Amino acid sequence: MPTYEYICRYCQQFLNVMATIKEKEEGLNPSCPECGSNEVRQSFSGVFFAMKGAGSSSSYSSSSGSSSSCGSCQSCK
């Protein structure tokens, strides 16, 4: 059974929730053991996607900026 990691929005408490794929698809709604809040978010996917997106976008903008002469715009002619 896979384990999903959540973080409470209020007290930043980590939750490890064990659930089947079916339970996850049907909508998992774990509650924080510390404050009892249902306002939790899944932790791992957000972190990884944010890092991946920031790295690829910065490298893309730097490579396009280095090519100063495009030959098609007004400043290059």
Least Å distance, CB 42 to Zn ion, is 15
- Residue number with CB closer to Zn ion (33 or 53): 33
Q: Which of 14, 26, 35, 53 binds Zn ion (CB under 5 A)?
A: 35
Q: Does 7 engage in binding with Zn ion (CB under 5 A)?
A: no
Report if residue 18 touches Zn ion, rule: CB under 5 A. Answer: no
Phi then psi for 28, rounded to 5 degrees? -85, 135
SS3 59: helix
- Length of the chain, in residues: 77
Binds Zn ion by CB under 5 A, chosen from 13, 31, 42, 43: 13
Residue 36 backbone zone (phi > 0: left; psi -120 to 50: alpha; other: beta): left
Could you tell me the smallest distance in angstroms from the CB atom of residue 44 to Zn ion? 18
From candidates 10, 44, 48, 60, binder to Zn ion by CB under 5 A: 10
